[in-house]
Amino acid sequence: MLEFPTWRKIWLWGLTLVACLAALPSLFSTAGVGWPDSLPDPEINLGLDLAGGSHILLEARADQVAAQRLENMEESVRSLMRDAEPRIRIGDVATTGGQMSFMLDNPADLDRARELLLPIVNGNGLTREWDLQVVDGQRMVLSPTDDGIEQAVSDAMDSATEVVRKRIDALGTREPTIIRQGDTRIVVQVPGLQDPDQLKELLGQTAKLEFKLVDASALPTDVAAGIAPPGSQIYNYSETSDFAGQTVAVRRLGGIRGDSLTNAQAGVDQQTNEPVVNIQFDQQGGAKFAKLSTENVGKSFAIILDGEVISSPYFREPILGGSAQISGGFTPESANNLAISLRSGALPVDLTVIEERTVGPDLGADSIRKGLLAMMIGSVAVVVLMIGSYGRFGVYATIALVFNVLMILGIMAGLNTTLTLPGIAGFVLTIGAAVDANVLINERIREERKRGRRVVTAIETGYKEASRAIYDANVTNFIAGVLLFLFGSGPVRGFAVVLVIGLFTSVFTAVTLTRMWVAGWLRKARPSDLSL
């Protein structure tokens, strides 16, 4: 057990030195040192509590979810009645007071219409989403249930949280904190981002993209007065549009939504040299876009983003292939933000920033300073205690402790993980675990010597028996650390990362490295007794 062939010693020393060298950029200034952009940052990323950053609180509009459900239900009802065999003809659809109602042209179609509506009324079977009533024998009324609205808001917030996470990840930030707070709020904390304006611009955009036909039959005077023809609605042009301040009437139904996008990239128009966003639809969306453009060549369509028209070009020819270009007075930054938002998907509900603040690094610097001071005082006390108690073996434990610290830092830098204030606590905890491991080993060796075993046998038995207990203890800690990482967020995950890395390095340095050193000393010195 104390045999260490040359190849194994080379491998252990190589692994140790590589991990320790990776820690140097985080300990010493690397200003002026060239570092390839293709490689990850060699320094450890500091969390919001240590490096400062941006904190914003977003709030969703629950009433918007209800309105969107009503609109989706209207489209579903029209589609079901139109596709029925034979077709079920209905009159105008009314959506007032949070309810939707429509009249069947033929009362004899009542049972067939009810049969078609039951699946979407009952939802997933766990929550009844809509109440269906029949009034006067041929008018059907759909009313959303409270449970259905509550479930819809919860689902929308889950989706919004995931979209927010995708958008922030696209900025290249690491270890952001994104958690739901209550029913309609999301807390976002981004370490290292001192200017929250970009974050607000990115998250404040719903990125709900729609393509709708312009209603050419609408009279300009009515449109200017905000009066839309039946089946159409009025939209304002965005402030960045060439038609800012004007309005346009578009057909309410029959357009294409941006939820079928597969990609969006910022680019430059080859003719005008203006920033644009190039988008790509999936197969189904591309087919719809091709059909819409083919059937309406020569007609104008509106590109609507978050309820504002950013441009209204003409279909000059069928647009096949599922790709299109969005222009609308973008800057390079706004085009890139829009591309990120479209790639991440539209927010299912508008999010409003209700609180924002920039966290300075002063608190973190003070925490780091006090943490380092505590670590230094504690380390000196541990070193004195270990060397005083175990002599040579205490020296080995001290050197192993230094390597343990450097390896943790090096591995964290290599994995681009983030060090948070709880992470420092995890750091100290793993150092304590490494010291405990050496105490267990040395005490076990001391017991074996008291039992009269020879030096080599005592050391071999001590390492073997103590290692078993060390492995068992660290397995349970490892499971706890993994669970914290999987189910935690932000600083909690930072603690878990340091804890898990520290468990591996502490076992490696306290058990494997010290055993290699002790084995080398035994072969060289061949002692007849131990001073433990």
Distance CA 64, CA 184 (A): 12
**Both tokens assigned to 269:** 């128009």
To which residue do tokens 């105008």 refer? 92
Query: What is the maximum span of the chain, computed from C-alpha positions, in angstroms?
Result: 107
Q: Is the dihedral of CA 157, 160, 166, 167 positive or negative?
A: negative
CB under 8 Å to 392, separation ≥6 — which residues? 521, 531
Q: Checking DSSP bridges between strand 308-311 and strand 232-237, what pairing results, if any?
A: parallel
Distance CA 477, CA 430 (A): 10
To which residue do tokens 């509550």 refer? 150
Q: Give domain limits for the chain.
A: 6-50+362-525, 63-144, 205-348
| pLDDT value of residue 175 | 65
Burial of 103-128, coded b for 16+ CB within 10 Å and e otherwise, reads bbeeeebbebbeebbeebbebeeeee
CATH 3.90.1070 fits 63-144, yes or no: yes
Please report, in tens digits, the pLDDT of each residue of the chain (532 residues total). Answer: 567 788 888 999 999 999 898 888 877 766 666 666 655 667 777 777 777 778 888 888 778 788 888 888 888 888 888 888 888 888 878 888 888 888 888 888 888 888 888 888 776 656 778 888 888 888 899 998 888 888 888 888 888 888 888 777 776 666 677 878 878 888 888 877 766 777 777 777 676 777 788 887 777 777 777 777 777 888 888 776 777 778 888 887 767 776 777 777 877 877 777 787 787 777 777 787 788 778 877 777 787 877 778 777 777 667 777 777 776 667 777 777 777 777 767 777 778 888 887 776 666 677 677 777 877 787 788 888 888 888 889 999 999 989 998 999 899 888 878 787 788 888 888 888 888 888 999 999 989 888 888 888 888 888 988 888 888 888 988 898 899 888 876 678 788 888 899 999 999 998 999 999 999 888 888 887 777 7
CATH fold for the domain made of 205-348: Gyrase A; domain 2 (3.30.1360)
Nearest C-alpha neighbor of 190 from the set 331, 313, 63, 49: 49
DSSP secondary structure letters along 194-263: --THHHHHHHT----EEEEEB-TTS-HHHHHTTPPPTTEEEEEEPTTSTTTT-EEEEESSS-EEGGGEEE
Cβ–Cβ < 8 Å for 176, 188: yes
The C-alpha torsion from 176 through 59 and 71 to 311, rounded to 10°, is -70
Assign 3-state DSSP to the chain and report helix, strand, coil percentages, each to 5: 55, 20, 25
- Tell the burial category of 492 from Cβ atoms under 10 Å away from its Cβ (0-12, 13-18, 19+): middle
Q: Give the class (CATH, top level) of 6-50+362-525.
A: mainly alpha
Alpha helices in 296-391 (DSSP H): 332-344, 362-390
Q: 523 to each of 1, 6, 272, 514, how far by Cα in Å? A: 13, 14, 79, 14
Q: How far is CA 157 from the centre of its chain?
A: 14
Q: Is the peptide bond before 86 cis (omega within 30 degrees of 0)?
A: yes
Name beta bridge partners: 100: 95, 142
To which residue do tokens 């010597």 refer? 449
| pLDDT value of residue 508 | 92
Distance CA 294, CA 134 (A): 40
Cβ–Cβ < 8 Å for 42, 416: no
In a 3-state reduction of DSSP, which class is residue 488?
coil
To which residue do tokens 């200003």 refer? 31
**Both tokens assigned to 279:** 């988008």
Distance CA 529, CA 531 (A): 7
* Strands of 38-105, DSSP E: 45-46, 53-60, 90-96, 99-104
CB under 8 Å to 44, separation ≥6 — which residues? 26, 409, 412, 413, 417, 418, 419
Q: Is the dihedral of CA 326, 329, 335, 338 positive or negative?
A: negative
Q: What backbone torsions phi and psi does residue 74 show, to the nearest 5 degrees?
A: -60, -45
| pLDDT value of residue 404 | 92
Nearest C-alpha neighbor of 445 from the set 471, 463, 468: 463
Q: How far is CA 409 from the centre of its chain?
A: 24
Q: 503 to each of 300, 454, 477, how far by Cα in Å? A: 64, 32, 8
Counting other chains too, the contacts that 159-165 makes at CB distance below 8 Å and 24 or more residues apart are 159/345, 159/347, 159/348, 160/60, 160/186, 160/347, 160/348, 160/349, 160/351, 161/186, 163/344, 163/345, 163/346, 163/347, 163/348, 164/58, 164/188, 164/203, 164/347, 164/351
Q: 26 to each of 372, 393, 434, how far by Cα in Å? A: 14, 30, 22
| pLDDT value of residue 516 | 92
Distance CA 300, CA 297 (A): 8
